[in-house]
Amino acid sequence: MKYRLKNIDCADCASKIETELKKVDQFKNASVDSALNTLTIDSTDLHLVEKIIHKIEPDVKVEKLDRKINPFSADKSKTKHEIARILLVLGLFVIGMIFRKELQATEYRWGEYLLFITAYLISGWGVSLKAAKNALRGRVFDEHFLMTIATVGAIIIQELPEAIAVMWFYNVGEFVEGLAVNRSRNSIRSLLEVRPEFANIITDGKLISKSPEDVSIGEKIIVKPGEKIPLDGIVLEGSSLVDTYPLTGESIPRKCDIDEEVLAGMINKTGILTVEVTKNFNESSNSKILELVENASSKKAETEKFITTFARYYTPAIVIIALCIAFLPPLISPSAQLSDWVYRALVILVISCPCALVISIPLGYFGGIGGASRRGILVKGSNYLDALAKLKTIVFDKTGTLTRGVFKVTEIVPSNGYSESELLKFAAYAEYYSSHPIAESVKEAFGNEIIPAKISTHQEISGQGIKAEVNGDKIIAGNDRMLHTENIEHHICDVEGTVVHIAVNKIYAGYIIISDIIKDDAKQALDD
């Protein structure tokens, strides 16, 4: 099961939750994603999960993930609140620094404390409160404890500006970290656009819209041109071109006829299709892709697992080192000032905050996954990013990857006395009623007006080509398979691109080569 953890804003806390859950024999494969604030665990006992988590973080709410809600949506109101708090603290800090000397020279010296303590409470109250709650539960060594003891110590030794500055920079760091995570989430959102929003169902002779999750196997759905196919199924009625790009990356639409399978997430381009549902939404191809996207960062690399273990020992070690720095030098050397070494120990506590350490590696991986998704590449987990470093050979899909997915006629090879212009004209007339990208490229290359009245018959044969009668001539435009079916001798073409053979009145007239356009940066991308 997958759950959302609300009100958790600390990577170190997320790591501790994961550690505690793994200690329970009943749970297996517990994984907390600190970038997405999600928990993946092999258990349906939500009550027990909540009980364990609340012992560590009482304010954390555990909710089941709802597929109808985008799991990467950002809380804009919280972002505005954080910006306002950061700016308010900065304003109070600046005012305090400007008038500090003037206040110290007057009887209103308490005004300095009022400004700085107010700024400290606004920026650090939540951190200090969390440190106190954790201490009562026996969890002393965490980032909140380090920040609180360092800033309170600074206040005790009369270094109020340092205390506010440290807490302010901590809050800014947390805010910027959140923005970085949200930026990666935004990159992944585009992959979730394949999620269908509705399905048109035939019920008692009427067409109604339902959520895909509510459609059962065996029900009939109607998919209109321009709509996404909401569920996997078999075509019962209709014929159309379907765009498989959202699922496969293939830029050429696929011809789809009766008894052929269609998958959720494909886009219907031309005709109306009646589809019988063969899989529930949770088992559909679309749902599987969504699951991959949502779980992409839950498959942790070995480096992430190491840093989680390391963090458990890191914070206590830092506290011990800070205590040694504060008290050992004054004990060893009479000339060493205790206040100076205490100040240095407080600096060590501040700069050694474990949250930055714990979040840095997961955030790096998550940023990589987000950057890849922004370019249309789905990485199934951070462990696969590590595997990429060991690759020696890469195999590319050409269309839409190394090429633009835009087709044009690159060569015309006539035969048996026909000219190039005649061959192109026959092909353009034969392809006139087709909306296939290859047909469009032929008509564009012809460039002249096509008179539909000259076309008396037109038949499109799925997976082979087109038969048409133009001005009394019987034209065949298709692939090798079609010419073999018609017993027409033709050239065997071993060339780059798509070959369209043309035959006129059962006599081979030649072939046309249609190629994709290579991207301008394809060579550089391969070199890099």
> What percent of the chain clears pLDDT 90, i.e. is strictly above it?
17
58 pLDDT more than 60: yes
Q: Are residues 281 and 427 in the same domain?
A: no
- For residue 341, CA distances in Å to 146, 149, 152, 322, 516 come to 17, 15, 16, 9, 70
74 pLDDT more than 70: no
Q: Are residues 184 and 312 in the same domain?
A: yes
For residue 257, being part of any structural domain is answered with yes
For residue 169, being part of any structural domain is answered with yes
Q: Are residues 93 and 183 in the same domain?
A: yes
Task: Please give the Cα distance from 327 to 509 (Å, whole number).
Answer: 96
| Paired tokens of 181 | 């995570």
pLDDT at res. 304? 67
Q: Are residues 266 and 224 in the same domain?
A: yes
DSSP class per residue in 225-254: TTPBP-S-EEEEE--EEEE-HHHH---SPE
Interval 163-187 mean pLDDT: 74
Task: Please give the Cα distance from 1 to 433 (Å, whole number).
Answer: 50
DSSP code of 23? T
**Under a CB-based contact definition with an 8 Å cutoff, are residues 272 and 224 in contact?**
yes
Average pLDDT, the chain: 80
Which is more confidently placed, 477 or 249? Answer: 477
Confidence of residue 325 (pLDDT cuts 50, 70, 90): very high
**Under a CB-based contact definition with an 8 Å cutoff, are residues 268 and 240 in contact?**
yes
Task: Please give the Cα distance from 349 to 442 (Å, whole number).
Answer: 71
Task: Please give the Cα distance from 364 to 450 (Å, whole number).
Answer: 56
Interval 442-447 mean pLDDT: 90
For residue 392, being part of any structural domain is answered with no
Which is more confidently placed, 175 or 143? Answer: 175
Which is more confidently placed, 325 or 140? Answer: 325
Task: Please give the Cα distance from 420 to 442 (Å, whole number).
Answer: 13
SS3 115: helix
Q: Are residues 421 and 507 in the same domain?
A: yes
Residue 8's beta-bridge partner residues? Answer: none
Q: Are residues 244 and 270 in the same domain?
A: yes
Task: Please give the Cα distance from 77 to 164 (Å, whole number).
Answer: 25
Q: Which of 42, 65, 88 finishes a domain?
A: 65
Interval 189-214 mean pLDDT: 77
pLDDT at res. 419? 92
Instruction: Report, as residue numbers or ranges, the catalytic residues.
Output: 397
pLDDT digits (tens, 9 = 90+) for 484-510: 888 888 877 777 778 899 999 999 999
11 pLDDT more than 80: no
Q: Are residues 287 and 307 in the same domain?
A: no
Range of the domain at 129: 76-189+298-373
Q: Which of 30, 65, 100 finishes a domain?
A: 65
What is the total count of domains within the chain?
4
Task: Please give the Cα distance from 101 to 314 (Å, whole number).
Answer: 40
User: Which H or E run contains 38?
Assistant: strand 38-40
pLDDT digits (tens, 9 = 90+) for 113-134: 888 899 999 988 888 888 888 7
Q: Which of 265, 293, 321 finishes a domain?
A: 293
For residue 384, being part of any structural domain is answered with no
List the Cα angle 196/198/204 in 5-degree steps.
Answer: 145
Confidence of residue 359 (pLDDT cuts 50, 70, 90): low
pTM: 0.51
Residue 51 exposed, middle or buried by CB count within 10 Å (0-12, 13-18, 19+): exposed
Confidence of residue 27 (pLDDT cuts 50, 70, 90): confident
Confidence of residue 12 (pLDDT cuts 50, 70, 90): low
DSSP code of 237? E
For residue 389, being part of any structural domain is answered with no
Task: Please give the Cα distance from 259 to 234 (Å, whole number).
Answer: 6
Confidence of residue 438 (pLDDT cuts 50, 70, 90): confident
| Paired tokens of 411 | 């060569």
For residue 254, being part of any structural domain is answered with yes
